[in-house]
Amino acid sequence: MAETTHTEISPDTTLEGEVTAIGDLDGKARIGAPSGTGERPAAIDGFTEEGESLPGGDDGTGQLGFKKHSHGNAPVVPEASRGERRRSFDLADFPTLTGLEEDWRFTPLKRLRGLHTDALSGTAPGIEVGGAGNVTVETVGRGDARLGSAATPEDRVSAAAWNAFTEATVITIPKETVADGEVMVKVTGSTSEAAAQHILIHAEAFSKAVVVLDHSGSVTLAQNVEIIVGDGAQLTVVSVQEWDDDAVHVSSQQAKVGRDARYKHVVVSLGGDLVRLTPSSIFTATGAEVEMYGLYFADAGQHLEQRLLVDHAVPNCKSRVTYKGALQGVDAHTVWVGDVLIRKAAEGTDTYETNRNLILTDGARSDSVPNLEIETGLIEGAGHASATGRFDDEHLFYLMARGIPEKAARRLVVRGFLTEVIQQIKVPALEERLSESVERELAAGNL
Amino acid sequence: MTTLAIKDLYVSIDTEQGNVPILKGVTLTINTGETHAIMGPNGSGKSTLASTIAGHPRYKVDSGSITLDGEDVLSMSVDERARAGLFLAMQYPVEVPGVTMTNFLRTAKTALDGEAPSLRHWTKDVKTAMAQLRIDADFAQRNVNEGFSGGEKKRVEILQLELFRPKFAILDETDSGLDVDALKVVSEGVNREHSKGEMGTLLITHYTRILRYIKPDFVHVFVAGRIAEEGGPELADRLEEEGYDRFTAQSAVEA
């Protein structure tokens, strides 16, 4: 895996590899220096400037640096490839979480409020689906054969949710149908008991629709959203998290993308105490294109995490990932991990993923980890970029020295930064609402 | 005519080693239509003067005054100073994430004028000014200064000068880091604006070469935080031949 071999903390610099940027905690102004002055790369345990330092005594038969795989009490063994990550409907296949697991290492488990340990027996948040008359909406029992056809849990919370839900919502856009409006799925929570929810969205062949999952209220929710994008279908799924301040939401949103299909997935995470989304796009046939966008705005104390997977398993597909985040306030924490896997068979793949973060105040932390794994050289293109910049006194001075008042200057920067993602939604009423939400976030931070 | 008057200005900065005085009694008056060059060795306080006029929070004014037609500049915030007609072309223009040049220029122009510029004229003005400064049209869609070379950043500063039309332009070592061609382009931009007769210019420079393109009416030599010598353009010629040694040696003796 093209996992990182070194880290730099350097504002305004485009980096490849893992980036952690932390706003100055000591409050020292960085004034007078031109931006982009590189600080010394921070050390990572086990890594030197030459790369990973390998433990001695390797007998050459195992994978470099890793202990041999064994069951039982073995230390955590990272998967050799993202494609090998365990997938199972059986909760027992996922060991109890310790927080040291690669895919949980940034998540504060204590704040999951039992989603990873408890029976998810609480009342699931209410679901109301409206907006398009020619789309089928069903509530089905867990025995329905369609459930689980598009997605298999990839982590413990997702598996727990699979095992706990009692009924599921199935939204079907029939074959060759263009939805006669945006499908608005209002998910409203009213209790903080740990609960599970299951949603299946099936865009049948050559259909066309926009589905908005609009999350609000108060929850402790483990959610699986499975998405099937049929051959030649065009589907946009927007997942908006405008939860109440105390909400905890862990959501797996896996899509299987058919031949020549167009799939767009947009994440907007603004509200909630802890929101952890794992959207994935798995190509199942050639000629498909996927765009995945994300916007997150973390305030003091909020943890907003997104872990993506784009699985290029078949030839001649294209993917673009663009996630942008803003952070303000002490202990605002965002995590973005973007895994792109180009399997041996996926010749002709064209992929690029980008993550940009903007740290507005001291005390916030942003982690960004783009991973690109390439098993064939016969591709069109593959790249990734990550940059984390700090909006500091020098930026403010520059804009104010051009006559722009302080508040307007800050808003100018944040609005400009986040608008790119909002514009991808293409639902004017929702775009407007989310722009206003971003304005409120800014106002709340006294910016 | 407008007058920018600096009187007996003392400025210091706070460092980890304590408070360090930088300007030690600077007096200078600039009128509309005049070009003043401030020259001096590194560390003499030239850039401090520029940043203090613009209101950079790092610099602390201990005493003295700066007035614009009698109005107290020091009591104004940074943006108020800009709206009052002061413009600082910065030595190190910062990169501003998330804001395109187009958006930035229009927002600033609107803030400076108190009303949005007429879209049709504005777009044309921006295009023309960019072409004159040989800035690629695609820069308009890029984020402010992001990924621009040193020379490109300086040209973009002068672009703003021409579009914002300040009463006083303070050019803080705009010439440093420019090759000859870029220096000419930038100087032409300043001269174009200056020739309209509605601007006073304070040109801060370490080198004399920019004075071949922008002709000063007055030259002030800065040494150790104060003006050591003043004169007309001939003083610049003399500096070009003799360098700053004469002043720095003298200042060392005084110290």
CATH code at B213?
A: 3.40.50.300
Chain B residues with CB under 8 Å of A415 CB are 98
Query: Is A158 part of any domain?
Result: yes
Closest Cα to residue A425, out of A215, A257, A264? A264
Chain A CB within 8 Å of residue B56 CB:
yes
**End-to-end CA, chain A:** 40
Under a CB-based contact definition with an 8 Å cutoff, are residues A375 and A287 in contact?
no
CB–CB contact B97 A35 (8 Å): no
Model confidence pLDDT, tens digit, residues A62-96:
444 444 444 444 455 567 789 889 999 999 999 99
CA pair distance A330, B216, nearest whole angstrom: 51
Tell me, what's the pLDDT at A21? 60
Query: Is A401 part of any domain?
Result: no
CB–CB contact A401 B103 (8 Å): no
Closest Cα to residue A399, out of B50, B82, B193? B82
Query: Is B192 part of any domain?
Result: yes
Model confidence pLDDT, tens digit, residues A212-237:
999 999 999 999 999 999 999 999 99
CA pair distance A207, A177, nearest whole angstrom: 5
What range defines the domain where residue A178 resides?
A: 77-391
Chain B residues with CB under 8 Å of A416 CB are 98-100, 103, 143
Query: Is B18 part of any domain?
Result: no
Tokens of B38: 């401030």
CA pair distance A333, A20, nearest whole angstrom: 11
Among B57, B82, B143, beta carbon nearest to A403? B82
Tokens of B226: 């104060």
Query: Is B1 part of any domain?
Result: no
- The interaxial angle of helices B180-194 and B150-164, nearest 10 deg, is 10
How many domains does one find in chain A? 1
Q: What is the mean pLDDT of residues A5-11?
A: 32
Tell me, what's the pLDDT at A87? 94
How many domains does one find in chain B? 1
DSSP tally for chain B: helices H, then strands E: 8, 10
Query: Is B28 part of any domain?
Result: no
CB–CB contact B103 A31 (8 Å): no
Q: What is the mean pLDDT of residues A276-304?
A: 97
Alpha-carbon distance B9 to nearest alpha carbon in chain A (angstroms): 21
CA pair distance B95, B8, nearest whole angstrom: 34
Which position has the higher pLDDT, A444 or B35? B35
Alpha-carbon distance B224 to nearest alpha carbon in chain A (angstroms): 19
DSSP A264-294: EEEEEEEE-SEEEEEEEEEE-STT-EEEEEE
DSSP structure class, residue B225: T
Q: What are phi and psi of B215, to 5 degrees?
A: -85, 120
CA pair distance B233, B238, nearest whole angstrom: 9
State the ipTM, two decimals: 0.95
What range defines the domain where residue B150 resides?
A: 33-55+76-254
Model confidence pLDDT, tens digit, residues A256-265:
999 999 999 9
Closest Cα to residue A293, out of A325, A321, A312? A321
Query: Is A433 part of any domain?
Result: no
Query: Is B174 part of any domain?
Result: yes
Model confidence pLDDT, tens digit, residues A102-114:
999 999 999 999 9
DSSP A131-192: S-TTSEEEEEETT-TTTTSS----SHHHHHHHHH-SEEEEEEE-TTPBPSS-EEEEEEEEEE
* Residue A14 in this model has a pLDDT that exceeds 70: no
Model confidence pLDDT, tens digit, residues A428-438:
999 999 989 98
Query: Is A28 part of any domain?
Result: no
**pLDDT band at residue A46 under the 50/70/90 scheme:** very low
Find residues 151-170 of chain A whose CB sits inside 8 Å of chain B. Answer: none
Instruction: Give every residue of chain B whose pLDDT is below 50, as ranges.
Output: 255
Among A398, A403, A418, beta carbon nearest to B96? A398
Antiparallel, parallel or unpaired: β B35-39 and B200-205: parallel
